[in-house]
Amino acid sequence: MDIAEEHNGDVTIVEIKGRIDSNTSRPFGDRLTGLIKAGRKRIVVDLKNLVYISSAGFRALLLAGRLAEESQGTLVLCSLSSEVQRLFDLGAFTDLFPIYSSREEGLTKLS
Amino acid sequence: MQIEPSGPTLLLHSKMTSESSGTHFSLRIGNTINEMKKVVDLVERFGSAHNVSKKAINELNLCLDEILNNTISYGYDDKGFHSILVTLTLVGDLMIAEIVDDAKPFDPRQSTPPDPSQGLGERRVGGVGLHFVNALMEKVDYSRKNGCNHLKLHKKL
């Protein structure tokens, strides 16, 4: 898994490439919670190049989402492939996060 | 079958067997999360060798991640070394992954779908991994033999 980060005004875009599994869920979660703790409260997680996310990855995402909520921040997701969307649906995670079809839409909603 | 606890942790071979028309890839890993990367590579190589779709490869890898994480995290009462054997076989239009371990008896075929009414604050992830396995695999077989769990995941190509 690779993580690329860029800033667009006060919005941080975190782009994930590869798999979020038992080995990569920790660096993934640490990156998101690190950003929130550092005061970056508007985050778009771009999942266009995510291959899959395991339950360990969903746990990390839930913890980051909660931390964002507690910090009066917003964490949104965008660009899920149909395979990744299916995992969100199977795990009943779809309604727990704002999910947008494109990065641009996510940025517009957060701006 | 008793799993040998010693010897090289990587035993990779690819051979045609006379008892089936499938090709076998197998790998023995130790009981640490870090070792699981080797299984991801094995499944990728198996998929490339047999022209398996990316979707089927990814779904099998996801389910192996759930099963192995469960076994390694919760399956052993001691902190000692244990070996886990993963074998991949192609039989007709099915890719079969067999996992043999000497962890505590555990049948993963029972899983409860997550409760969609829970919000972000109260939501727990426990059980979701096994739900993925039972939803994404065509069939899951489990048996306990000679002190070992034998699990077979069947995935359509």
Q: pTM (2 decimals)? A: 0.90
pLDDT at B121: 84
Residue of chain B with shortest Cα separation from A68: B120
Decide if B34 and A23 are in contact by the 8 Å CB cutoff: yes
Residue-wise burial string across B1-32, b where 16 or more C-beta atoms lie within 10 A, e elsewhere = eeeeeeeeeeeeeeeeeeeeebbbbbbbbbbe
Tens place of pLDDT for every residue, chain B, 157 residues? 444 443 333 344 433 332 334 578 999 999 999 999 999 999 999 999 999 999 999 999 999 999 999 999 999 999 999 999 999 999 999 999 999 999 999 999 988 888 888 888 888 888 899 999 999 999 999 999 999 999 999 999 8
Contact yes or no for B87/B25 (Cβ under 8 A): yes
pLDDT at B5: 42
Judged against a pLDDT cut of 50, whether residue A38 lies above it is answered with yes
Mean of pLDDT values over A68-90: 96
Chain B residue numbers touching A55 (CB-CB < 8 A) = 66, 69, 125, 128-129, 132
User: Of the candidates B99, B96, B78, B91, which has an alpha carbon nearest to the alpha carbon of residue B36?
Assistant: B99
CB contact under 8 A, B125 and A52: no
Q: What is the DSSP string of chain A?
A: -EEEEEEETTEEEEEEEEEESTTTHHHHHHHHHHHHHTT--EEEEEEEEEEEE-HHHHHHHHHHHHHHHHTT-EEEEE---HHHHHHHHHTT-GGGS-EESSHHHHHHHH-
Residues of B in contact with A32 (CB under 8 A): none
Query: Looking at residue B13, what is its pLDDT?
Result: 43
On whether any CB of chain B is under 8 Å from the CB of A59, the answer is yes
Contact with chain B for residue A22, Cβ under 8 A: yes
- Supply angle C-alpha B145, B97, B148, rounded to 5: 20
Residue in B58, B65, B128 nearest the CB of A83: B58
- Residue of B34, B115, B136 lying closest to A92 (CB–CB): B115
Q: Is A67 on the interface with B (CB under 8 A)?
A: no
Average pLDDT, chain A: 96
A55: nearest CA partner in chain B: B129
Q: Does B128 touch chain A (CB under 8 A)?
A: yes
Contact B99, B149 (CB under 8 A): yes
What span, in angstroms and rounded, lies between the C-alpha atoms of A23 and B69? 10
Q: Do A69 and B123 touch (CB under 8 A)?
A: no
Distance CA B137, CA B157 (A): 11
- Segment A55-71 shows an average pLDDT of 96
